[in-house]
Chains A and B, each alone.
Chain A
Amino acid sequence: MLRWLIGGAREPQGLAEKSPLQTVGEEQTQNPYTELLVLKAHHDIVRFLVRLDAYRFASAGDDGIVVVWNAQTGEKLLELHGHTKKITAITTLPSIEACEEKNQLFLTASADRTVIVWDCNSGRQLQQVSCFQSTVKCLTVLQRLDVWLSGGNDLCVWNRNLDLLCKTSHLSDTGISALIEIPKNCVVAAVGRELIIFRLVAPVEGSLEWEIIEVKRLLEHRDNILSLVNIDDLSFVTGSHVGELIIWDSLDWTMQACERNFWDPSPQLDTQPEIKLCQKPNDTAIHHFTWDEENVFAAVGRGLYVYNLQTKRVIACQKTAHDSSILHVAKLPNRQLVSCSEDGSVRIWELREKQQLAAEPVPTGFFNMWGFGRVNKQACQPVKKQPENAISCALELIGDLIGHSSSVEMFLYFEDHGLVTCSADHLIILWKNGERESGLRSLKLFQKLEENGDLYRPV
């Protein structure tokens, strides 16, 4: 048909043949990103993006370089060299209100077992700690206590001046994979398949020393915990390698809800090959979470699941949202859900109320008008194991961003400037709303005309 093959080349969607991957076609009317800018500065995989302020972000990766960018123009502002090995964690260090110096700082940890504090205005390397026994894998700032924690094989607490306040004993050889703050001066660390809750004791009149005390170990997960995210002040969520999603109470550290069904081999005759694929543990690994007031969005293997916090049920899913594992998901303020994956693509989804009466979902058919899209029966297919029709929503693909040639590691959303993606192909791509950019350029043009005194205003 009209589907185009270059001289009988290998069918590009070869993978898609095996599992019905939803495609959106070439006409994406709701996809606002019609302009892109490729940013090139790294020489290796770019793994981290961190937002510094309204218009700046920093990128870091395996080449040990940190680059500060302007999100509006794509201009490279600073290139920071200091680490000799790959960077393993990056976080901003918010300035305290009392502190008069306005310098925006951020921390980077590297496999060379150092942590560096940078000033992102001047690019200066303010301080460096290199007394670590192991690679620091996560960094968390407790703004309330004005301390920051580094998690490696042990957990260390530091103050702003980089004095080691206290540390735990050796926890495990694999080290802490994730670390979040929860109320009551506690932190949760994911170590292997365990969740360990520590309490931080600030110096009171009696003692001048900081103390970190292990409070509790939670052992509900059957496999390594890959993701650990705060939902709100009251609960946090964890996801494991075998697709367990557990929601915990932040105050009493009890399990609020658990969903282990992502890998449930409920037999579906028509999608037999897919089931086989899904049973591979990697396909059910929960890599990342995002959340909004009502739902938790989980990236489970190649699929996306929406778990409603009220009903404690999966209300929508997309079993093969990508060709391979989804690495990062985020809910944007404009109700869109964005996911990026190892297959090098970024997809934009929208959670829509499903019309119960509609027998057949229409949208993909519309995009398929020219024969390029692929009708996907799966698109809004309810999960069949819940015949009571609990799934009332559908994740609809409204656009995809293709630009990276390798796995997209992470992305960052700027409300005013668009989306920034970083990838294993060493590139960072700035995706922008073409229409808005065009308007901005016009504004700039007329501003310049006015500056030059060439703007003619009739009286």
Chain B
Amino acid sequence: MISAPDVVAFTREAEYEEEPYSEPALPEEYSVPLFPFASQGANPWSKLSGAKFSRDFILISEFSEQVGPQPLLTIPNDTKVFGTFDLNYFSLRIMSVDYQASFVGHPPGSAYPKLNFVEDSKVVLGDSKEGAFAYVHHLTLYDLEARGFVRPFCMAYISADQHKIMQQFQELSAEFSKASECLKTGNRKAFAGELEKKLKDLDYTRTVLHTETEIQKKANDKGFYSSQAIEKANELASVEKSIIEHQDLLKQIRSYPHRKLKEADLCSGELEHTQGQACPAATTSTLEESVDTDLYSCRPAYTPKLIKAKSTKCFDKKLKTLEELCDTEYFTQTLTQLSHIEHMFRGDLCYLLTSQIDRALLKQQQITNFLFEDFVEVDDRVVEKPEPSLPKPSQDRLLSRSLEDCPIPQVFISVGSSYKSSVESVLIKMEQELGDEYKEAEVTALSSFDPQDNLDYLDMELKGSISSGESIEVLGTEKSAPLLTKSDSQGSLTVPLSPQVVRSKAVSHRTISEDSIEVLSTCPSEALIPDDFKASYPSAINEEEAYADDSEGAIHFQAGVSPQKLDKAKEGSLENLLPQADASCCIGKESHLLQVPLPAAAPSLCDEDSVVSIPPQRYQQKELGFHVDFTAEIVSSSPQDSGSEGLTAYELDPSHLLASRDASKTSLDNYSDTTSYVGSVASTSSDRTACSAPPTSSSDRHRKRAGQNALKFIRQYPFAHPAIYSLLSGRTLVVLGEEEAIVRKLVSALSIFVPNHSRSGKPVKHWVSCPLHITDFQKWKLIGLQRVASPAGTGTLHALSRYSRYTSILDLDNKTLRCPLYRGALVSRLADHRTQIKRGSTYYLHVRSMLTQLCAKAFLYTFCHHLHLPACDQEPEGLLAGRQGSFLRLSLGLVNEDLKVVQYLAELLKLHYTQEIPATGQPTLRFDYVPSFLYKI
């Protein structure tokens, strides 16, 4: 019955109509498909082995006027990386596609040579023989001695995965532009210096010639000029001309920044960014350039040389190296930038995309994300530049970007009936789904692997032929994606593909003949939506437009509380009401009715509400592209899948792929999950170093370990829930124990549940041995405390019992917990001791997703005007409290103590939002007069 995929898909569609609330609650971008051939033992990364190099690298090549295309250097500079890959051949390939008109010389109608400030060209090409795909960034540098004063160079990012290149085109382009800009700035500086030297030489030569002529004139009083004298005069004339020419060149090169800057003003912000970051040494380009101008004029004294009349032939001399062409300083900066790029794009595409989306979404939660996100790390990831001088501009960028990307949320004052109803209906649904969602999250995190492989396999199945490897696909705009991601994922192993998908796949797999070189234009929006693609697609557009719009809507609402649900629910109801309603009309209505706070909705998104036909934005294209990749697989991703069983063998965290040498170690770590807590206690000596490291230096590995230990804690202690509740509600948890290592370990594990006060770091103290004081409870929310057996220890314990109303105390030695009662539902989902999650990083992600949801609730609660301030002047006092309670209970679906968690987070949000200067002083210590209980194992 389910053998025919299209039939199944159709059935799904019907189900969807009837039951619009049964979708997984997981955001679509996070759904990662399962690998269908896992049971056969196929390695999803086997494709990499086809290439002649082990991992991605960056190649810099030059089209030398003497020897032709030649490779200059690779990053990383390790022969193991590119292995047997033929760099020379590939240099030839990549240099041959530079089609830019970098023409320098005497243009017709101009007396002097003119410098052309050409834009870099960005090209993607593939090579089947080498199994390599490359993003190629061409640039020209100026060299006084070179032909036409220019030297063409290119930087290429070479990868075996074409989809990586295609989908990361924007990012690659942006990053390489930075590197290129850095090179070019250095080059301009060097070129100007070169010109000045040359001018001085010429000036000197002129003086010398002039004196010689004068001498000859004096010596020769016959009244006519000798041939020698004429020659000298000619020489002098040519020197004069040369001086004028060079002065003009110098003027041109100096005028560059100003021209460029004016252009930048006119252009979009994107260009401005690249400009701003172009020269990492300086904070802004204007500063940099003004400094540059100063530098040009005050160079160290230079002794001019006499210039021979006949210039040397270009083949006689050695061409300048790249380092000489640019300033050494700039050259090293460029190298740093390039290795940063190499770092950034290291690893699997799937991992890259996930982390990019992750980051983009995090940025959208401008108001709430300080609560649980590890900011030091987030910044690191974005910046990730080893050189200390570099982070500054990137931070500037971060700042400016966050300022423009994330306007302050629009807050809806009246809890209008339409708004209320939508929120309520949505939240009822949320309740139902929470269990599922949690499983979903788990599965998603487990099944992280290259989706493209899978797609290819599917293709093979469907079309019976493998598309040639070097074809370049345009994946940005496939419209059918949301359709399938929407359909219920509880499916069988057979992959049900709707006919639409098959069709669109066929269309999108434009196969290009062997060795063909695909050149994409430099304009990004055109690059991703070629016209022919649009043209070949018209039949599908009508029926799929709605979904495309819908997916835009989904992105639109990303920032609110479970926005997709809101969206879907709304849409579902609207669809029922107005079946023939136009999609654009739908969206317009939504935006008016819902007005969910949109912290990150850029102005452009607002425009889209009214105008649907706006060409997709960059970010959205990326999103859509991502959808497409997962089109088919999402259908098969269900926790009950038998395929997921076999998957455990491959459940490598994508991040581990980055460094394969870590893999064995980390996997060992992962599987030690099953060992008992006691066992791990015995082996703590090995953990000690990692645990005692400050929490700020937490890497993926650190998180993983934290997640793992948190899992252990949850499994081992039946009273984990009240302990976690204490942390979430801002009641300080004191972990009391004799052994430092154990305490530290548990403290770092539990710190994932501690909300931050500000971005300055977690309020966690890993190890204290002196008696606690009231200020400690104000400052720290999780404290590891040493139990001292000596009489000195009684002071510590006395202080603890004195301040017991501010603390929950977890005694590791006696295995007891003293803390208030918890009867909510939130923590049981957050920390289920029967969870199927086995791996630390998975659990960490699970916790993060749950906490993000919680933050969204807290956000809604905080920014609803009428929940906190009276609707009218004469409002009885009790009404406000009643409204708060009913909102928390009914709209946000919270029970009992969960209210306090959200209220606490709301207080933190308020404090954080109203603080003028972030991180000034500690927030007040909030507490409740509630009885505590003693829990024992």
Q: Is the CB of A456 within 8 A of B813?
A: no
Pairs of residues from A and B, 8 with the lowest C-beta to C-beta distance, nearest first: A442-B868, A28-B929, A9-B797, A454-B408, A441-B910, A12-B801, A456-B410, A26-B931
Can you offer 11 A-B residue contacts whose CB atoms are under 8 A? A6-B800, A7-B811, A26-B929, A34-B929, A35-B924, A38-B774, A40-B775, A399-B929, A402-B802, A404-B774, A449-B408
Select A437's contact among B409, B799, B811, B924, beta carbons within 8 Å.
B924
Say yes or no: is A221 at the interface (Cβ < 8 Å to chain B). no
Q: Which residues of A contact B787 (CB under 8 A)?
A: 7
State in angstroms the CA–CA spacing of A12 and B797 once bound together.
9
State in angstroms the CA–CA spacing of A351 and B409 once bound together.
49
Say yes or no: is B927 at the interface (Cβ < 8 Å to chain A). yes
Q: Is the CB of B924 within 8 A of A36?
A: yes
Say yes or no: is A429 at the interface (Cβ < 8 Å to chain B). yes
Q: Which residues of A contact B907 (CB under 8 A)?
A: 438, 441
Chain B's closest residue to A442 (CB) is B868
Say yes or no: is B170 at the interface (Cβ < 8 Å to chain A). no
Q: Is the CB of A6 within 8 A of B865?
A: no
Known contacts A35-B925, A405-B802, A445-B862; can you find 7 more A-B pairs with CB under 8 A? A9-B794, A34-B927, A36-B924, A437-B924, A438-B868, A438-B907, A454-B410
Say how far A277's CB is from chain B's closest CB, in angstroms.
Answer: 22
Q: Which residues of A contact B565 (CB under 8 A)?
A: none
Binds A, one of B254-262, B285-293, B411-419: B411-419
B768-815, CB < 8 A from A: 773-775, 778, 787, 794, 797-805, 809, 811, 813-814
Say how far A40's CB is from chain B's closest CB, in angstroms.
Answer: 7
Q: Which residues of B contact A442 (CB under 8 A)?
A: 862, 868-869, 910
Q: Is the CB of A441 within 8 A of B407?
A: no
Chain A's closest residue to B413 (CB) is A457
Count contacts on B: residues with CB < 8 A to the other chain. Answer: 55
Q: Is the CB of B910 within 8 A of A9?
A: no
Contact flags B863-881 to A (C-beta < 8 A → 1, else 0): 1010011000000000000
Main secondary structure, interface of A, reads mixed
Say yes or no: is B252 at the interface (Cβ < 8 Å to chain A). no
Give the one of A370, A403, A444 with max B CB within 10 A: A403
Say yes or no: is A10 at the interface (Cβ < 8 Å to chain B). yes
Q: Is the CB of A458 within 8 A of B412?
A: yes
| Given A26-B929, A442-B868, A456 contacting B411 (CB threshold 8 A) | yes
Q: Which residues of B contact A74 (CB under 8 A)?
A: 921, 924
Q: Which residues of A contact B595 (CB under 8 A)?
A: 456, 458
Chain A's closest residue to B927 (CB) is A34
Q: Which residues of A contact B410 (CB under 8 A)?
A: 454, 456
Say how far A77's CB is from chain B's closest CB, in angstroms.
Answer: 14
Contact flags A136-161 to B (C-beta < 8 A → 1, else 0): 00000000000000000000000000
State in angstroms the CA–CA spacing of A454 and B367 once bound together.
13
State in angstroms the CA–CA spacing of A429 and B413 once bound together.
36
Say yes or no: is A96 at the interface (Cβ < 8 Å to chain B). no
Q: Which residues of B contact A455 (CB under 8 A)?
A: 411, 413, 865
Select B926's contact among A25, A27, A34, beta carbons within 8 Å.
A34
State in angstroms the CA–CA spacing of A448 and B868 once bound together.
14
Say yes or no: is B766 at the interface (Cβ < 8 Å to chain A). no
Q: Which residues of B contact A452 (CB under 8 A)?
A: 408
Chain A's closest residue to B787 (CB) is A7
Say yes or no: is B265 at the interface (Cβ < 8 Å to chain A). no
Say yes or no: is B225 at the interface (Cβ < 8 Å to chain A). no
Chain B's closest residue to A9 (CB) is B797
Mark A residues whose CB is within 8 Å of B.
Answer: 2, 4, 6-7, 9-10, 12, 25-29, 31, 34-38, 40, 74, 369-370, 372, 399, 402-405, 427, 429-430, 432, 434, 437-439, 441-446, 448-449, 452, 454-458
| Given A38-B774, A427-B775, A25 contacting B931 (CB threshold 8 A) | yes
State in angstroms the CA–CA spacing of A108 and B414 once bound together.
53
Q: Which residues of B contact A370 (CB under 8 A)?
A: 931, 933
Main secondary structure, interface of B, reads mixed
Q: Is the CB of A26 within 8 A of B805?
A: yes
Say yes or no: is B206 at the interface (Cβ < 8 Å to chain A). no
Q: Which residues of A contact B804 (CB under 8 A)?
A: 4, 26
Say how far B934's CB is from chain A's closest CB, in angstroms.
Answer: 5
State in angstroms the CA–CA spacing of A430 and B925 once bound together.
10
Q: Which residues of B contact A35 (CB under 8 A)?
A: 924-927
Say yes or no: is B917 at the interface (Cβ < 8 Å to chain A). no
State in angstroms the CA–CA spacing of A434 and B928 once bound together.
9
State in angstroms the CA–CA spacing of A403 and B933 once bound together.
21
Give the one of B409, B774, B934 with max A CB within 10 A: B774
Q: Is the CB of A405 within 8 A of B799?
A: yes
State in angstroms the CA–CA spacing of A170 and B409 once bound together.
71
Say how far A347's CB is from chain B's closest CB, in angstroms.
Answer: 13
| Given A12-B798, A27-B931, A441 contacting B914 (CB threshold 8 A) | yes
Give the one of B802, B931, B932 with max A CB within 10 A: B931
Q: Is the CB of B411 within 8 A of A26?
A: no
Q: Is the CB of B778 within 8 A of A27?
A: no
Select B798's contact among A7, A9, A31, beta carbons within 8 Å.
A9
State in angstroms the CA–CA spacing of A112 and B366 once bound together.
55
State in angstroms the CA–CA spacing of A37 and B926 once bound together.
9
Q: Is the CB of A6 within 8 A of B416?
A: no
State in angstroms the CA–CA spacing of A159 and B531 once bound together.
93
Q: Is the CB of A7 within 8 A of B814?
A: yes
Q: Is the CB of A448 within 8 A of B913?
A: yes
State in angstroms the CA–CA spacing of A442 and B868 once bound together.
6
Chain A's closest residue to B814 (CB) is A7
| Given A10-B797, A445-B914, A2 contacting B934 (CB threshold 8 A) | yes
Q: Which residues of A contact B408 (CB under 8 A)?
A: 449, 452, 454
Say yes or no: is B178 at the interface (Cβ < 8 Å to chain A). no
Chain A's closest residue to B932 (CB) is A26
Q: Which residues of A contact B933 (CB under 8 A)?
A: 2, 370
Q: Is the CB of A434 within 8 A of B926?
A: yes
Say yes or no: is B577 at the interface (Cβ < 8 Å to chain A). no
Q: Is the CB of A27 within 8 A of B413?
A: no
Q: Which residues of B contact A438 (CB under 8 A)?
A: 868, 903, 907, 910
B163-183, CB < 8 A from A: none
Q: Which residues of B contact A26 (CB under 8 A)?
A: 804-805, 929-932
Q: Which residues of A contact B502 (CB under 8 A)?
A: none
State in angstroms the CA–CA spacing of A239 and B356 once bound together.
74
Say yes or no: is B736 at the interface (Cβ < 8 Å to chain A). yes
Give the one of B736, B913, B924 with max A CB within 10 A: B924
Select A446's contact among B794, B799, B869, B930, beta carbons within 8 Å.
B869
Chain B's closest residue to A5 (CB) is B801
Say how far A291's CB is from chain B's closest CB, in angstroms.
Answer: 29
State in angstroms the CA–CA spacing of A12 and B795 once bound together.
10
Say yes or no: is B568 at the interface (Cβ < 8 Å to chain A). no
Contact flags B833-870 to A (C-beta < 8 A → 1, else 0): 00000000000000000000000000000110100110
Say yes or no: is B439 at the interface (Cβ < 8 Å to chain A). no
Q: Is the CB of A37 within 8 A of B925?
A: yes
Select B865's contact among A12, A369, A441, A446, beta carbons within 8 Å.
A446
Q: Is the CB of B934 within 8 A of A4?
A: yes
Q: Which residues of B contact A437 (CB under 8 A)?
A: 924
Q: Is the CB of B914 within 8 A of A448?
A: yes
Q: Which residues of B contact A434 (CB under 8 A)?
A: 926-927
State in angstroms the CA–CA spacing of A391 and B272 once bound together.
82
Q: Which residues of A contact B138 (CB under 8 A)?
A: none
Say yes or no: is B335 at the interface (Cβ < 8 Å to chain A). no
Q: Is the CB of A439 within 8 A of B868?
A: yes
State in angstroms the CA–CA spacing of A456 and B778 once bound together.
35
Give the one of A12, A29, A38, A439 with max B CB within 10 A: A38
Q: Is the CB of A372 within 8 A of B931?
A: yes
State in angstroms the CA–CA spacing of A29 and B798 once bound together.
25
Q: Is the CB of B805 within 8 A of A402?
A: yes
Q: Which residues of B contact A403 (CB under 8 A)?
A: 774, 803
| Given A6-B801, A404-B774, A458 contacting B862 (CB threshold 8 A) | no
